[in-house]
């Protein structure tokens, strides 16, 4: 496919990234994935995510740390050419861990992005899609949260790095002519979800008969968004050309309470939850809720998977995954 489009996907072995790569390869794209297999969670999970990709002729994997500017500069020669678009999903993740390692998060999420933006500018790559986070809103009192809210005050180091990333993107768009699209993801869930995230963590503990840690009084709410809808939003952003800089919310425009989430897990897993009530954690947001009017208008973004359907699919995947893990251990 001489005329196939080419994409550089950072973090392409992770939860969202590997799903994105599935679709791109199926549609004939040439894909180069950069991932450093950060030990935040088991490397074997990411290796399993990309097992099928490695057999594809249009797929290239580069193990690279984006904090290393020289290694970033070597990506294009190693991949055999330049790219039509960069989708930057790699990041040091997790709100709570960022409280104990703020410098590490700054280095990975801000310096890593800076190196990649410099790479894009030097190579003349004009389309840059950045995976941001709903956490940039902090405790913004105006609900649902809108991209028009500019007085944002993040509550943890992770969130501050994501807001800094959006601002860096604006600099490169305004000064160097790069089209930068920032996507604020709202609580993504579904098959391949990271094991540290609440739905996945709770589900594993429940299936093993263990207590699940619930922080605060259980009144927190999240705008849960199925991975397939997030990937659809990313794909639309890869093609977006109507303006040079935009930030979009990608959410489900619906909040679900923590206790309702646990009840849904009980339903799809067929087990009861044993709750271990704990104190509220610093840096955590009590509610997330996306206004998606802008994404609907400019990207054609419309969530297609309701929470019940997404959770049922997640439960099937998790049970199959646990069987695979059990067989591997045996």
* Residues involved in catalysis: 158
Please enumerate in sequence order all residues whose Cβ is within 8 A of that of 139, keeping only pairs 6 or more positions apart, or say none.
153, 155, 285, 286
How far is it, in rounded angstroms, from Cα 290 to Cα 305?
16
Kindly report the backbone phi and psi dihedral angles of residue 290, in degrees, each rounded to the nearest multiple of 5, phi listed first: -95, 130
Q: Which two tokens stand for residue 178?
A: 């790069």
Alpha carbons 239 and 259: distance in angstroms, whole number: 38
Backbone conformation region of residue 192, classed left if phi is above 0, alpha if psi is from -120 to 50, else beta:
left
CA 326 to the chain's CA centroid:
27
Residue 155 contacts by C-beta under 8 Å, 6 or more apart in sequence? 135, 138, 139, 283, 284, 285
Q: Tell how far CA 280 is from the center of its chain.
A: 24
Reading the block at residue 234, the tokens are 């990313």
Two tokens, residue 77: 């020669």
Cα within 13 Å of Cα(307), Cβ side: 19
As a whole number of angstroms, the distance between CA 10 and CA 62 comes to: 10
Count of CA atoms in the C-beta half-sphere (13 A) of 11:
23
Q: CA 207, CA 325: separation in Å to the nearest integer?
A: 14
**Cα distance between residue 16 and residue 325, in whole Å:** 21
Taking only Cα atoms into account, the Rg of the chain, rounded to an integer number of angstroms, comes to 19
């Amino acid at each position: 496919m001489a005329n196939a489009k080419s994409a550089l996907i950072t973090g392409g072995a992770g939860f969202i990234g590997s799903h994105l790569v599935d679709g791109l390869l199926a549609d004939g794209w040439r894909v180069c994935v950069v991932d450093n297999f950060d030990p935040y969670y088991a490397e074997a999970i990411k290796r399993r995510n990309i097992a099928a990709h490695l057999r594809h002729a249009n797929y290239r994997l580069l193990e690279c740390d984006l904090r290393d500017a020289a290694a970033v500069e070597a990506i294009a020669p190693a991949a055999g050419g330049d790219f039509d678009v960069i989708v930057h999903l790699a990041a040091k993740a997790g709100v709570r861990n960022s409280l104990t390692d703020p410098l590490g998060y700054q280095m990975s999420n801000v310096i890593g992005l800076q190196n990649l933006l410099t790479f894009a500018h030097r190579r003349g790559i004009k389309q840059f899609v950045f995976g941001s986070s709903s956490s940039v809103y902090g405790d913004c009192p105006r609900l649902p949260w809108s991209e028009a809210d500019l007085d944002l005050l993040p509550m943890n180091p992770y969130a501050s790095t994501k807001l800094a990333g959006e601002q860096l993107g604006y600099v490169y768009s305004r000064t160097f002519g790069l089209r930068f699209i920032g996507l604020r993801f709202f609580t993504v869930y579904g098959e391949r979800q990271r094991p540290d995230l609440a739905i996945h963590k709770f589900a594993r503990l429940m299936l093993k008969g263990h207590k699940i840690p619930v922080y605060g009084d259980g009144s927190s709410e999240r705008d849960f968004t199925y991975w397939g809808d997030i990937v659809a939003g990313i794909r639309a952003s890869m093609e977006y050309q109507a303006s040079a800089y935009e930030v979009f919310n990608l959410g489900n425009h619906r909040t679900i309470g923590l206790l309702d989430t646990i009840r849904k897990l009980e339903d799809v897993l067929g087990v009861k939850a044993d709750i271990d009530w704990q104190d509220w954690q610093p840096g955590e947001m009590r509610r997330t809720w996306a206004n998606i009017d802008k994404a609907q208008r400019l990207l054609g973004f419309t969530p297609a998977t309701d929470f019940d359907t997404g959770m049922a699919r997640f439960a099937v995947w998790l049970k199959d995954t646990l069987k695979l893990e059990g067989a591997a251990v045996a």
